[in-house]
Chains A and B, each alone.
Chain A
Amino acid sequence: MSASAKLAEPSIEAASPSRANVQTRTITYDDQIARWFVFASVAWGIVAMLAGAFAALQLAFFKANVLPILSYGRLRPLHTNAAIFAFVGNMMFAGVYYSTQRLVKATLASKLLGRIHFWGWQGIIVAAAVTLPLGITQAKEYAELEWPVDLAIAAVWIVFAVNFFWTLAKRAEKQLYVAIWFYIATIVTVAVLHVVNALSIPVSLLKSYSVFGGAQDALVQWWYGHNAVAFFLTTPILGIMYYFLPKAAERPVYSYRLSIIHFWALVFVYIWAGPHHLLNTALPDWAQTLGMLFSLMLWAPSWGGMLNGLLTLRGAWSKVREDPVLKFFAAGVTFYGMATFEGPLLSIKSVSSLAHYTDWIVGHVHGGALGWNGFMAAGMFYWMVPRLFGTKLHSRRAAEIHFYIGTVGILLYIIAMWVSGITQGMMWRAVDAQGNLMYPSFVETLLAIRPMYWMRLFGGTLYLAGMVMMAWNLYMTAKSGRATDGEAEVVVEIESTKEIDWKRIVFGPPVVIAAVCLVLLFAIAFTNPVGTAGLLLLAGIVGFTGIFVLTLMKSPNKPTWHAILEGRALIFTVLTVLAVLVGGVAEIVPSIILQQTDAEVAKKTNAPYRALELEGRDVYIREGCYTCHSQMIRPFRFETSRYGEVSTLDDSRWDHPFQWGSKRTGPDLARLGGKYPNAWHWQHMLDPRSISPGSNMPSYAHLEHGRVDFAGIENKLRAMRSLGVPYTPDEIAGAPADAEKQAAEIVRDLETQGIAANPSSELVAITAYLQRIGKNPPPPPPPAAPVPVTMTNEAR
């Protein structure tokens, strides 16, 4: 399938006698890169969904946890990373490369950079596929990959960005179409998110600790996690929608004006909404309220974009009936509408109190991932591949069947998760007339939803079958044709005309009005509630009046400010970065620079982990325990009755990374320390069902034979100290001895219960950690009073 890509010899000629400074060129697009990314996406998509189906099986049937390297805690990050970065990532790159060249009328700036991007990205995916099952992880959702892979991601992303912006610089079409705006927003924002969230201190080649800890880490992580959804799974796919949907429907986008509103409102508002993942937690209330508010605001731009996509099909619904491509696009955009309706709904604090940690969230995510991303990918592939190979789709009927079984699969999946999530949420909070929990055993709530886990598995498997069918269909299509690169005649000016001064764009009325409003809103941070109300009112008056005046001043014969901006790629990019950074800075910076409790004071309320506990925590992280257990007790009676005292900021102050979790397939562990004897933990890890009948937790018997390297503990404490954890030099130097001492104490205790354990066993270390979570060790005894020196004790 080698492409016969070559740039056609420029046929320079005057476009018309009256335009001597104009010439036409025939260019050939580099479509080979798009072909590679399409097939990589399809192949990795099947792997990702296979991993997802297997993980779903493990939740329904614990015996499917056959190997430690493929146990649920390790497989789930592999599934999410593969789905996001391998499936959607490759699909996004295919769409971006294909559409950008055509929209800007330029061939890809550098073939070499394109190839480095492709192979670099596949190398990163392979690295993820190897390291995650081995338990090499940073334990931050969707950002689990360790620091060397993080560096590789940053490098490959820069290669992609350079090639993209270089192509824009070479463009023959001055105006940037809306799809390009979304691509620009994606490239710059993902770079910022990745770099900030991945900041960590390496301990070894394959181990690092996040520079952020506790609540700060939680905020940064979910600022990243939420915006990975926003700027990796949404904005590039919106760009793809704005290009491929009009192409497939053979009509322009419903409203270009709406797309302007859609873009700016979305990129500005989206970045603020991250804290809605942390509602009712120990996160400061201002950050939670901000996250909830901006999530509600997201309804407006998200639905604006969704309606713009769907209404592009007005007058073309007869085509939708006949064309599988349009079917996928129409359903994909509809699922986008559903997911973006549900997201803000789930961000309302009271709704979140029910839904958070349950399968409802899983259903919400999969409505977006399978419905929006998966169906937009399928529509794009069915449209692109015949054109990339100069042939027709091998089987329209197979594509139709794919659509129907995919749709049924998604519906079964999300309905199962809705039922499961709401059932479990209601059972967790159910109390009797005396205020006692009606379902005090967590396993009861798990058994109630198990049928839904089987239904989810069935739905997911149907979807996977559709993906396999698509892979076969696309392969047969490619086989029946020949790699073909698109060509186009473009007209360019030899001498560029005088541009409008950049200051007139950057300091144009829309930017000035927005800046004044933002300054007024930021001033809220330094005032009292009355001042806040006044500033809000003033910002509203400025914004509303400014827009009103601009509307009155409009001139029908002049190009709009935005039309001028669309012709200036660099300025457009800078303004996009500013729009995105405002939200990031407003949320992240205060939480990082604001004075926390003094470290020494915090140390008294929550001492740092002892060496063995830290080792045990690393085992906990490696096994992916956070994928099923939270460590965050919310301020609700039903939570405190079940788990204990409400979690505080100090509880996780020294946690690098934080382990608050996002899902409770098992109970919360924030106050687990001291709740059960060591022998209980030992037995529970070996055979969970012997302690908790009905549990679906995998056995962690392999930890009994895993060994902790006591000699390496010092490095870990030293790294933690460099992050601000108050270990003293003496504690660091004595870490190996202290770890051995604590291990020996646990082993002695186990022996009294008839259990023979090796002190360096990982199971001993994780027991030490589990016994410590949420339980501050007793303060050291006060120093003994000075003993008077006498002749007698001097002699001793």
Chain B
Amino acid sequence: MKQAFLAPIAQSPLLLLPLSALLLFLVVFAAWVIRTYSKRPEAYAEIAALPLHDDAGQRRVDQRTEVTHVD
């Protein structure tokens, strides 16, 4: 396994760069996922439920803590 990984790099050392870029992406992506998931899901519950209430605006709005706005 180790040989299978090292042999292509020994043949073409520049291969390390794209592999590093891929690793970098995965690390940052994982960090981003952790960061996003550090927010409590309740913070998004209202917006996540938007499609379920689109024909019952009055009822839904009454349940909200804030009213909707016009830009």
Contact = CB atoms under 8 A, between A and B. Distances in A.
Interface of A: 15, 19, 22, 24, 99, 102-103, 105, 169, 171-175, 177, 179, 242-244, 246-247, 250-253, 255-258, 260-261, 265, 289, 292-293, 296-297, 300, 486-494, 496-497, 517, 529, 532-533, 536-537, 539-540, 543-544, 547-548, 550-551, 554, 556, 559-560, 563, 566-567, 569
A536 B52 contact: no
A175 B46 CA distance: 10
The 8 closest A-B pairs by CB, nearest first: A102-B54, A256-B44, A256-B48, A489-B58, A543-B28, A252-B48, A491-B61, A547-B31
A257 B29 contact: no
A567 B70 CA distance: 10
Given A173-B68, A544-B31, A554-B38, A489 B54 contact: no
A84 to B, nearest CB: 26
A15 B67 contact: yes
A293 B48 contact: no
Contacts of B1: none
Nearest to A570: B71
Given A293-B18, A544-B31, A547-B28, A256 B41 contact: yes
A109 B48 CA distance: 25
Contact of A246 (B27, B32, B52): B52
B46 to A, nearest CB: 8
Contacts of A22: 67
A255 B41 contact: yes
B17 A177 contact: no
Interface residues of B, number: 46
B38 A551 contact: yes
B54 A103 contact: yes
Contacts, number: 156
Interface string B20-36: 11101111110111111
Interface of B: 13-14, 16-18, 20-22, 24-29, 31-41, 43-45, 47-52, 54-58, 61-62, 67-71
Contacts of B18: 289, 292-293
A293 B24 contact: no
A174 B67 CA distance: 9
Given A488-B55, A489-B57, A174 B68 contact: yes
Contact of A172 (B25, B47, B70): B70
12 contacts: A15-B62, A105-B68, A174-B71, A179-B51, A247-B52, A265-B29, A489-B57, A490-B68, A493-B67, A540-B24, A547-B35, A554-B38
Contact of A174 (B27, B45, B69): B69
A171 B31 CA distance: 34
A105 B58 CA distance: 11
Nearest to B40: A556
A300 B14 contact: no
A533 B20 contact: yes
Contacts of B44: 256-257, 563
A710 B18 CA distance: 52
B67 to A, nearest CB: 5
Given A297-B22, A529-B14, A556-B40, A252 B68 contact: no
Nearest to B55: A488
A202 B21 CA distance: 42
A456 to B, nearest CB: 35
A257 B36 contact: yes
B5 to A, nearest CB: 14
A252 B70 contact: no
A536 B51 contact: no
A201 B57 CA distance: 52
A24 B67 CA distance: 11
A497 B58 CA distance: 20
Contacts of B33: 261
Given A256-B47, A551-B35, 16 more contacts: A105-B57, A173-B68, A177-B47, A242-B51, A247-B51, A250-B52, A256-B41, A261-B32, A296-B22, A487-B55, A489-B58, A492-B69, A496-B69, A540-B24, A543-B24, A554-B38
B27 A540 contact: yes
Nearest to B26: A300
Of listed A252, A292, A536, residue having the most chain B CB within 10 A? A252
Contact of A554 (B39, B47, B58, B71): B39
Contact of B57 (A293, A491, A537, A554): A491
B59 to A, nearest CB: 8
Of listed B22, B55, B62, B67, residue having the most chain A CB within 10 A? B67
B56 to A, nearest CB: 7
Given A261-B33, A493-B69, A533-B20, A560 B55 contact: no
Contact of B48 (A172, A253, A492, A560): A253
Given A539-B24, A560-B43, A243 B57 contact: no
A253 to B, nearest CB: 5
B47 A566 contact: yes
B65 to A, nearest CB: 12
Contacts of B24: 536, 539-540, 543
Given A265-B29, A493-B68, A252 B52 contact: yes
A175 B50 contact: yes
Nearest to A540: B24
A22 to B, nearest CB: 5
Given A536-B24, A551-B34, A490 B71 contact: no
A265 B25 CA distance: 10
A486 B37 CA distance: 36
Contact of A300 (B29, B34, B71): B29
A451 to B, nearest CB: 36
B28 to A, nearest CB: 4
Of listed A179, A251, A497, A536, residue having the most chain B CB within 10 A? A536
Nearest to A180: B50
B24 to A, nearest CB: 4
A773 B22 CA distance: 39
Contact of A252 (B26, B45, B67): B45
A177 B44 CA distance: 11
A251 B32 CA distance: 26
Nearest to B29: A300
B14 to A, nearest CB: 6
Of listed A491, A496, A566, residue having the most chain B CB within 10 A? A491
Contact of B20 (A179, A250, A536): A536
Nearest to A497: B69
Contacts of B28: 517, 540, 543-544, 547
